[in-house]
Amino acid sequence: METIIQAVELMFSWPVLVALLIGSIGGVVIGAIPGVGPAVAIAILLPATFSMEPLVGLTLLLGIYGSSMYGGSLPAILINTPGTAVNALTTYDGYPMTRRGEALRALGLAYGASFFGAVLSILILILLSPVLAKVAPMFGSREIFLAALLGIILVIIAHKGQMAAAGMLAGLGILLQSVGMEPVNYTMRYTFGLDWLTSGLDLIVVVLGLFALSQAFQLIVEPDSAPDAQPVSGSMFRAMCEIWKYRRTAATGGGFGVLMGIIPGVGEFTAQFLSYTAARKRSKTPEMFGRGSPEGLVASESANNAVPAAAMIPLLALGIPGEALTAMMLSVFYVHNVVPGPGLFQNQMDFVYALYLSLLLLNVIVILWMVVSSNLLIRIIRIPTRFLGMAILVLSFVGVYSLRNSAMDCMIAAGFGVFGLILKRLNLPTVPIILGMVLGGIMEVKLRASMGRIDSLLDFVNRPIAALLVLTIIVIVGQSLRTSIRDLHARHEESNKPHQNKA
């Protein structure tokens, strides 16, 4: 009880509340503007959060992360353009409802489902805290190494159809984090005698380049546009209350969101797909899915908004981020010497509960804001894309330069920005690079720490959790190889059919 009281005191300090208000409302605005997205905003804001208290900085970033998907549903429903990438599935049923004259109903269902899924996820996270506090200390160096290795494997497997590219890009990320002075023996790695590589490649510089600058370059080089959407009228609160009619679909979507959020490398897209598929199978009108089905809209929005809170579980319990946004947040922990992992639950449980409370409060703030501000956000959607691109470009370079007052960092970020733009044009993922850098660093540190107590490879599996992780890795890799071989045979047989027909 004393821990909860301390968490409430931390949570209701003025700096935290202001950060929460700015992050939640700002996240909605950023999510509502097509072409920006939370990754760009968090990348730009990261340097500024380093001068804040850990809880203040994380609350600001969590506000943007958790609320951006609320805002992203607005253009997805009204103009068939998702505000964030994870709102793409919302367009399938949201926009057809708008064309039928049900824009208010579609927005109300989307907001209600988002709130339902997010709150369900946070409540599960709070209930799991005592379990995490007991399980987390069981993870030693080798267990965390194996968990990070499992995270990298899951990231690669999650990019179905692009696994080879995702694997190479994750390997590139691991290589990038190894550049610079090695911290144990102080030897230089991949510096080629260049002084500016001695301190390595800063994660924030790479993040700003790959996410913010690449997006800015893309917005600038593409034709200028200013999307148009018509205002909606009526009671948004009454429209949101209809979510109770689809509570079973929302609960299923929230459950998938929690499960997929906990597993590193999976995230919102898989949660949405599973939720949408399950809703369609159970629906009495499956033929309406993709043509304006309220159930499809609820399934999509409840699943993607349940992921952010669940993604905090591996981050807080093991220090292992599940995707790019939580990887960025990890850097805020490290800057302030707050090390996520088993020690966090043993020594700073008040900090953990304060984060949970901030997640809960931000959803309340967001839903109240969405009820009164939808028509105001419609005006924001109309900002020209090239103006957005220039604004992101300027803010990104200011953020990079403020890190170390280094023009070289700006040049490195620009180089990664061009590389990120090339990856976008080739439809290749950038997330594996960031997770490769973060998880690669964790793997190196934990492997070195565990080597002193290991005489053979069998020592890696002489503890229950380590053995379970190794078995999980073997099963996942084996299943993935089996699926890939089966798909290859299917494609081969399909390509041979025309020849057989001709014969």
DSSP string computed for 324-375: HHHHHHHHHHHHTT---SHHHHHH-HHHHHHHHHHHHHHHHHHHHHHHHHHH
For the record, the structure tokens of 142 come out as 């080798």
From CA 212, how far away is CA 388, in angstroms rounded? 11
Reduced to 3 DSSP states, what percent helix, strand and coil does the chain have, rounded to the nearest 5? 80, 0, 20
CA distances to 154, 260, 397 from 264, rounded to whole Å, are 7, 8, 30
From CA 313, how far away is CA 319, in angstroms rounded? 9
Label each residue of 383-416 as H, E or C.
Answer: CCHHHHHHHHHHHHHHHHHHHHCCHHHHHHHHHH
What pLDDT does residue 229 have?
64
**Contact (CB, 8 A) for 224 and 272:** no
* Residue 229 CB-half CA count within 13 A: 29
What pLDDT does residue 35 have?
67
Q: 205 CB contacts (<8 Å, ≥6 apart)? A: 400, 403, 409, 412, 413, 416
From CA 260, how far away is CA 154, in angstroms rounded? 11
From CA 233, how far away is CA 123, in angstroms rounded? 33
pLDDT, averaged in runs of 10, over the chain (503 residues)? 76 86 87 76 80 83 84 81 74 84 86 90 83 76 84 81 88 90 81 83 85 86 71 75 87 87 70 83 84 87 85 79 75 75 75 84 87 75 79 85 84 92 89 85 84 75 85 88 83 69 52
**Contact (CB, 8 A) for 300 and 253:** yes
Residue in 23, 252, 20, 221 with CA at minimum distance from that of residue 116: 252
Within 10 Å of residue 189's Cβ, how many Cβ atoms? Answer: 12
What pLDDT does residue 69 have?
81
CA distances to 12, 70, 84 from 80, rounded to whole Å, are 39, 15, 12
For the chain, helix (H) and strand (E) counts, in that order, are 21, 2
For the record, the structure tokens of 242 come out as 């209809």
The helix (run of H) or strand (run of E) holding residue 502 is: helix 464-502
For the record, the structure tokens of 38 come out as 């939370």
Q: 303 CB contacts (<8 Å, ≥6 apart)? A: 117, 253, 254, 256, 257, 260, 268, 271, 272, 274, 275, 276
For the record, the structure tokens of 194 come out as 């260049």
What pLDDT does residue 266 have?
63
The helix (run of H) or strand (run of E) holding residue 188 is: strand 188-189
What pLDDT does residue 265 have?
62
From CA 493, how far away is CA 503, in angstroms rounded? 15
Dihedral sign of CA atoms 332, 334, 336, 340 in order: positive
Residue in 107, 85, 84, 83 with CA at minimum distance from that of residue 94: 107
